[in-house]
Amino acid sequence: MSDAPLKGWNHSPDVPLQVSPFFSWPPRPMAMAAWLWNSWFFITERLIVVAIACVSFYWFQPSLDITRTLAFGWIAEMFIRNVVLMTVVAGGLHLYFYTFTKQGQVLKYDPRPLMKSGRQFTLGGQIRDNMF
């Protein structure tokens, strides 16, 4: 975190932001290997997303034989699967970060809580607007 946070903001990242060593010149193979190891091989966001994609593909994806012909059934099945996945993942993150506030104010840019209501929201509240 930088030494002089911006007024009104809870977290200010170190700048300049570091990019992947794959986009740096000259190439640094050891830095590339370390980046891959640190961002893919432990329990990270990327590994969790890949795991969800693999589970979804192998157990909840209609077979390719069925999907060769356009039909309402398998399209609806995939749509429902995607809505359930999105609700579980986004809802779980919302519960963790906002309802149970497990992370507290750490790394939260805006220290204000979610707004419950207001005229600026189409559906009457920030959560409903974010959902729909």
Q: Which residue is it, tokens 């790394």?
A: 107
- The predicted-structure confidence for 68-84, as pLDDT tens digits, reads as follows 999 999 999 999 999 99
- Per-residue pLDDT, 58: 93
- Selected residue with higher pLDDT from 47 and 40: 47
Phi, psi of 8 (to 5 degrees): 90, -5
Judged against a pLDDT cut of 70, whether residue 24 lies above it is answered with yes
**Mean pLDDT computed over every residue of the chain:** 84
Share of the chain above pLDDT 70, in %: 92
Predicted confidence (pLDDT) at residue 87 exceeds the cutoff of 70: yes
Which pLDDT band, with edges at 50, 70 and 90, does 5 fall under?
A: low
d(CA 91, CA 78): 19
| Range 78-106 burial, b when 16+ CB lie within 10 A, else e | eeeeeeeeeeeeeeeeeeeeeeeeeeeee
Q: Identify the H or E element spanning 30.
A: helix 29-40
Residue 21 has pLDDT above 80, yes or no: yes
Please report which confidence band the pLDDT of residue 6 belongs to, taking 50, 70 and 90 as the band edges: low
- What is the C-alpha R_g of the chain? 21
**What average pLDDT does range 33-55 have in this prediction?**
85
Residue type, 123: L
